[in-house]
Amino acid sequence: MPAVLPTLRCSSRVLALLAASCLMATGLGATPVLAQDRTPPTRPPTTRPVTPREAPPARTAPGRDIGRGDSSRDPLPPVQAEPSSIDVGVYPPKGHGMGTVTLTNVGKEPLKIVAVQTGCACTTTSDMVGTVIEPGASVPLEVRIDGGSVPTVKRTSVKVLFEGYTRVFEISAKGETAYAVRIVPAYINATGGKGRTGRIVMESVDGKPFKVCSVNGKAPNLAGFDAAKDEPRSQYVLDYDLAEFETDKKVLPLYLLVETDRADCPLLDLPIRQDSLRRAAGIRGARDVRLGAGQIESGGSAMVDLEFRNADGLTVSKVESSSDLFATEIVSTETEEPSLLRVHVRITPKEGFTGVVNAPIRSVSNRGTQETYVFFRVVSKDAPGCSSPEAWKSVELPLGDEPDATQGRERTRERTPATGSSRTRPTTR
């Protein structure tokens, strides 16, 4: 009878030991390594890799976020900013504001800046890529914010990436585009049926007194001020009731025009935020829907700039006036990086005309047309200051959608002959 060999039930641990023993016996093995040991080895203390993650290329324009670190795990660089945020102040439309922040290395090792990123194309910084900040040393970082064509408060940020760190050091920044007279708040919020009545503050940036002439050609309601008795002030509180400016179908204008007696700030536009406002189709990348051309003396002219982003291949062949009260012509064009086309347009009022104008101009390009409203005041040399009520008769005001406008319909623009205003109505295809 053949011998019966017992069946061995071996665990993986035993098999590993047997294999290691065989290797040792043949001289091919070394210290045995246990498989699936139930007692895990002691973990070494967590350390950061000696070679840091490769930094993205330096950049001072907005783009892909340079901060890739885990805020819950990765440390911030040992840097302090003074001041902690930047306010570049108030600047005119198409102007800019400047600010400086000091970065101090509060650590024990040198810090090298490998990238700087801003929150928008309107914000630029001094070239800091490659700058090394020694322990205890400081360097200045200059920030510039470019203003748009209409009053607004711009909030942005500057992110600085240091070598050896995956988290960025972020600095908040803000600036305000304003006329010589600023309005606070910069718009009326009439969405959801609210904001039909309220107050706004008007104040001169330079502190000089001025007069509030009218709102859309009507006498202003200034709280605590009597124009017949009181001297001009540098600040006013203006009460408004939107019911005074809506049509019989309860349609509001897209903005109000406030007139002052200052030559450097004759008209201010006060936008009205509304429900279901849909922007008419135009040239993709157009930056401006309205522009102020200031005050023009009779017989003179003024310049405005039309700007288009993502303008590679864009050609604007002409700019047409929709009104017989002024003519337009392209003086020159220029292209700036990244892909910004700027068209310089001259506006010349009709000979002998004085008054207030608010009418669209139409840019014609190889990508369609774009309508932009321009507003300005034309005065005679011997009669500057506030306009008469008759001077507002030719003013065209763009209107919002009707409250019961059906969505999904195409809009067409027409003029209302009674007021000369421009309105937008839905029409079935």
Distance, first Cα to last Cα, the chain = 101
Is the pLDDT score of 387 beyond 80? yes
Higher pLDDT among residues 369 and 23, named by residue: 369
321-334 per-position pLDDT tens digit: 999 999 999 999 98
The DSSP bridge partners found for residue 270 are 256
pLDDT the model gives residue 403? 59
Average pLDDT value for the chain: 79
Same CATH fold assignment for domains 79-177 and 279-398: yes
Quote the pTM value.
Answer: 0.68
pLDDT the model gives residue 71? 54
* CATH of region 79-177: 2.60.40.10
Fold of 279-398: Immunoglobulin-like (2.60.40)
Is the pLDDT score of 406 beyond 60? no
Residues 6+ apart with CB under 8 A from 272: 187, 188, 190, 242, 252, 253, 254, 255, 256, 400
Is the pLDDT score of 39 beyond 60? no
- Contact 171/145 with Cβ under 8 angstroms? no
Is the pLDDT score of 34 beyond 50? no
Is the pLDDT score of 131 beyond 50? yes
Q: Picking from 162-166, 240-244, 264-268, 307-311, which range would have the lowest pLDDT averaged per residue?
A: 307-311
Q: Picking from 49-53, 74-78, 112-116, which range would have the lowest pLDDT averaged per residue?
A: 49-53
Is the pLDDT score of 211 beyond 50? yes
Is the pLDDT score of 166 beyond 70? yes
User: Which of 74-78, 248-252, 338-342 tops mean pLDDT?
Assistant: 74-78
User: Which of 23-37, 236-250, 383-397 tops mean pLDDT?
Assistant: 236-250
The DSSP bridge partners found for residue 273 are 189
pLDDT the model gives residue 340? 85
Is the pLDDT score of 20 beyond 90? no
Is the pLDDT score of 48 beyond 70? no
Q: Picking from 65-69, 156-160, 162-166, which range would have the lowest pLDDT averaged per residue?
A: 65-69
Where do the domains of the chain lie? Answer: 79-177, 279-398
Which residue in 205, 184, 178, 187 sits closest to 94, CA to CA?
A: 178
- Contact 128/141 with Cβ under 8 angstroms? yes
The model's confidence at residue 202, banded by pLDDT at 50, 70 and 90, is very high
Residues 6+ apart with CB under 8 A from 52: 163, 164, 165, 166
Beta-sheet strands, E only, within 205-354 = 212-215, 221-222, 235-241, 255-260, 267-273, 290-297, 302-308, 316-321, 326-336, 340-349
The model's confidence at residue 389, banded by pLDDT at 50, 70 and 90, is confident
The model's confidence at residue 150, banded by pLDDT at 50, 70 and 90, is confident
Higher pLDDT among residues 105 and 152, named by residue: 105
Percent of the chain whose pLDDT exceeds 70: 75
Angstrom distance (rounded) from CA 97 to CA 87: 9
Provide the b/e sequence for 55-67 (b: ≥16 CB within 10 Å).
bbebebebeeebb
Q: What is the mean pLDDT of residues 58-69?
A: 48
